[in-house]
């Protein structure tokens, strides 16, 4: 099956379909967060008094951790740069690769051709740009995880001090906005993690372990539990267990062949560049939301 316009632009929109898709998704995200910002405005202007984020709880504020949130802001900005660098290293590598291939086909100057070939060849460039990409993408994921750790620390601190969304409308909207934003970070980590590694190879390599060890162990544990917890129900459901075994192994096998991860760079480099661009657009949006969340929740004075 060929998916149309994954690389070339669709004539009527002028962009490849993935880009139009991610922008449509981001537009819906703007409305999702917009609705919550609207809620913030309504809660705040309708409130008799409003807590100030940076003021400690003992002094009647919300006691949010401004230094930690500032740190998180830097982290997210940095991750935005690294993910755009990840995309740029692929794009630059691809362009150089094409340039060299072009030179080899139509050498204008034999000396130039020799120089270029001696320095590099298309395969080498492709492998190098993938390494660069993995470096920047790895950094991006590392920053995202750092952000989540800081956020988890903040949440834990609040909960351990008896502060929940029900405590005050401020915390209700605080937890809703930062919680939804945190979910977006987690989603980004999953997608970026998928693009980081050659999953097809990894899963194929470990397929033997998965097939002969993990799935049987899980199933045997299930059977043991059923036998232990009573009766001969195990005999009644043994066909179901066999069915589950076949279903899971089949699913995993199909799954493995369908998830190339960063291996798409080998087979369809231009499509992979576009995928990374879309992942980047999403990630910049998550950064952008935080850029507004940070002053609104942490820095604005109370009333």
Partner 1 sequence: MSEGHIHDVSQDVKKYLYVFLALAVLTVVTVGISYIDFGLSGSIVVALIVATVKGSLVAFYFMHLNHEKKSIYQLLGLTAVCFLILVFIALGATSNKHPYHDNEDEHRFQKEYNESLTHLHEHEQHEEVHEQDNAHSSDFTAPVGSPIGAYWRNKVFNPQQDGDGTSDTSSGDAIYGTSVISGLVTFEGKIPRMKSLMEEMSADIGCYGKYTTTDPISDTVVVGPSNTLANVLVRITEGPPIGRAYKATDEISAGRIQVAILDQYGCMYKPHILAVMAGQEITIKNSDGIMHNVHAIPTINSEFNKAMPKMTKKIDYTFQEEEQDPFPIKCDVHPWMGGYVSVLPHPFFSLTALNGKFEIKNLPAGTYLLEAWHEKLGSLTSTVEVREGEISESNFSFSKL
Is residue 20 close enough to count as binding partner 1 by CB under 8 A? Answer: yes
Residue closer to partner 1, measured from CB, 178 or 256: 178
Site for partner 1 in 283-302 (CB under 8 A): 284-285, 287-288, 291-292, 294-296, 299-302
Least distance in angstroms from the C-beta of 149 to partner 1: 19
Considering only residues 178 through 217, tell me which ones interact with partner 1, judged by CB under 8 A: none
Read off the DSSP letter of residue 9: P
Q: Which of 54, 134, 140, 144 binds partner 1 (CB under 8 A)?
A: 54
Measured between alpha carbons, how far is residue 189 from residues 59, 179, 194, 276, 285 in Å? 37, 15, 8, 13, 14
Residues constituting the chain: 303
Interface stretch with partner 1, choices 78-86, 138-146, 235-243, 254-262 (CB under 8 A): 78-86
Interface with partner 1 includes 267 (CB under 8 A)? no
By CB under 8 A, is residue 3 in contact with partner 1?
A: no
Contacts with partner 1, 226-265, as mask; x by CB under 8 A? ----------------------------------------
Q: Which lies closer to partner 1 via its Cβ, residue 115 or residue 238?
A: 115
Site membership for partner 1, residue 132 (CB under 8 A): no
d(CA 139, CA 136): 5
Nearer to partner 1 (CB atom), residue 148 or residue 299: 299
Lookup: tokens for 29:
């995200």
- Judged by CB under 8 A, the chain residues 137 through 156 that form the site for partner 1 are none
Distances (CA, A) of 141 to 106, 135, 149, 180, 294: 42, 10, 12, 18, 21
By CB under 8 A, the count of residues binding partner 1 is: 77
> Binding of partner 1 at residue 46 (CB under 8 A)?
yes
To partner 1, the closest distance from the beta carbon of 251 in angstroms equals: 34
Closer Cβ to partner 1, 256 or 289, answer by number: 289
As a 3-state breakdown, the chain gives helix, strand, coil percent values, each rounded to 5, of 80, 0, 20
* d(C-alpha 195, C-alpha 191), whole Å: 6
Q: What is the Rg, in whole angstroms, of the alpha carbon atoms belonging to the chain?
A: 26
CB-wise, 154 or 270, nearer to partner 1? 270
**Site residues (CB under 8 A) for partner 1, limited to 83-122:** 84-85, 88, 90-92, 94-96, 98-99
Nearer to partner 1, 83 or 226 (CB): 83
Name every residue whose Cβ is closer than 8 Å to that of residue 132 and which is 6 or more positions away in sequence: 86, 89, 93
The secondary structure of 236-288 as a DSSP string is HHHHHHHHHHHHHHHHHHHHHHH--GGGHHHH-HHHHHHHHHHHHHHHHHHHH
């Amino acid at each position: 099956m060929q998916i149309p316009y994954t690389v070339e632009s669709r004539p009527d929109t002028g962009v490849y379909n993935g880009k139009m898709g991610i922008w449509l998704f981001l537009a819906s995200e703007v409305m999702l967060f917009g609705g919550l910002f609207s809620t913030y405005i309504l809660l705040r202007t309708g409130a008799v008094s409003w807590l100030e984020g940076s003021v400690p709880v003992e002094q009647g504020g919300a006691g949010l951790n401004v230094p930690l949130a500032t740190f998180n802001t830097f982290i997210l900005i940095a991750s935005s740069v690294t993910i755009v660098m990840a995309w740029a290293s692929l794009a630059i590598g691809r362009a150089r690769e094409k340039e060299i291939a072009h030179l080899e086909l139509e050498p204008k100057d034999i000396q130039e051709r020799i120089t270029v070939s001696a320095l590099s060849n298309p395969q080498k460039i492709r492998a190098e740009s993938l390494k660069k990409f993995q470096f920047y993408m790895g950094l991006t994921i590392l920053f995202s995880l750092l952000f989540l750790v800081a956020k988890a620390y903040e949440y834990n601190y609040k909960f351990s001090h008896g502060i929940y969304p029900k405590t005050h409308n401020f915390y209700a909207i605080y937890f809703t906005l930062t919680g939804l934003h945190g979910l977006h970070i987690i989603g980004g980590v999953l997608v970026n993690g998928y693009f980081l590694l050659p999953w097809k190879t990894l899963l194929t390599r470990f397929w033997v372990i998965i097939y002969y060890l993990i799935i049987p162990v899980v199933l045997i544990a299930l059977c043991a539990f059923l036998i232990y917890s009573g009766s001969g129900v195990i005999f009644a459901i043994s066909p179901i267990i066999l069915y589950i075994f076949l279903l899971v192994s089949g699913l995993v096998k199909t799954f493995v062949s369908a998830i190339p991860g960063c291996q798409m760079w080998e087979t369809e480099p231009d499509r992979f560049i576009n995928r990374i661009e879309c992942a980047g657009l999403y990630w910049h949006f998550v950064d952008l939301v935080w850029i507004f969340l940070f002053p609104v929740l942490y820095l604005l004075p109370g009333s």
